[in-house]
Amino acid sequence: MTWEQGTSKKEHGTGNGEHGSLAEEGAASWEAIADGWAERVRTKTDWARPVLLDKPHLELVGEVSGAQVLDAGCGEGRFARMLAERGAAVSGIDLSERMIGHALRLEGEQPLGIDYRIRDMCDLSCFEGREFDLVVAYLSIIDVEDYETALAEIARVLRPGGQFVFSLVHPCFSPPVWGWEPRKVGTIPMRDKDRLFRKVDNYFPATEIRFRMWPTAPTETINYHRPISEYAHACRNVGLLIRDIVEPTPEPALAEQFDYLKGEFRAPTFIIFDCVRTP
């Protein structure tokens, strides 16, 4: 199932921090797909990260040598390892025990000094206030039902002037209803030249979206679609100032080689926010 084919429902429930039904369902789904997900990202089968997202994330965080860094929602540890390889002292947290298990096994084989913990992003009480110079949430806030509590906790553990970088599936171009309108009625526009325009609908209200991370994934996963204004207001309310926004696009030569990537220049799939913790 693709994003276009996902199902949506108005956001509800008690939130990750209170372990409501949606939060439990989401956590269980990541446990179910953890083995397959670890294999996909480690074999670069998940193309979005190496092709679109890694470079702008790394450019935004800049020099991290010696920095205290938290990877919030680290999964099997891929980006945490990239930061540690650049000299950062990294802590990685994730709600999925199996994901952390994969991360710990690789840490045991190839030690980078990463501190992995099974932890809810909405409860970072295991960390002191103002402990980190940088917090990264690489496509993970979209998995959190009670995102406002998560942002408040992230702000708490960031030192004043510290950086918070988080990325999302772009709310404007991948809302609950979207798709490419074909130039020829009744066809599926696989190539860019066959796409007339991208149609989007139901930007409001915030909703949950259920979809399969890959066609043969053992279960559906829950992400949360929220208008950009909701994230902006939530960041403002906890003292996180958005100072830059990046909408990643592929290298033009790569898009010429892989035609499906040309759509990223027409309607980007992802958006990255660069924030600073105000005093």
Look up the pTM and report it: 0.92
| Residue 218 DSSP code | S
Assigned domain for 236 exists: yes
- Nearest alpha carbon to residue 231 among 274, 195, 261: 274
Q: Tell me the HSE value of 79 on the side-chain side, using a 13 A CA sphere.
A: 29
Per-residue model confidence as pLDDT tens digits over 160-213: 999 999 999 999 999 999 999 999 999 999 999 999 999 999 999 999 999 999
- What is the spatial distance between Cα 141 and Cα 150, in angstroms, rounded to a whole number? 8
Query: Which stretches within the chain are classed as H helix?
Result: 21-42, 48, 54-61, 78-85, 97-109, 147-157, 228-237, 252-257
1 domain residue, yes or no: no
**Residue 2: inside a domain, yes or no?**
no
Note whether residue 127 is domain-resident. yes
Tokens, residue 185: 């009625």
Which residue's structure tokens are 């696009």?
Answer: 249
Strands 132-137 and 158-169: parallel
Place of tokens 């002292």: 89
Instruction: Supply the CATH number for residue 30's domain.
Output: 3.40.50.150
The string of pLDDT tens digits covering residues 18-74 is 445 898 999 999 999 999 999 999 999 999 999 999 999 999 999 999 999 999 999
Tell me the residue type at 203. Y
Strands 177-182 and 195-201: antiparallel
Residue 250 lies in a domain: yes
Q: Could you list the residue range(s) of the whole structural domain that residue 226 is in?
A: 7-277
Both tokens of residue 3? 């994003």
Instruction: Report yes or no on 113 lying in a domain.
Output: yes
Q: How many domains does the chain have?
A: 1
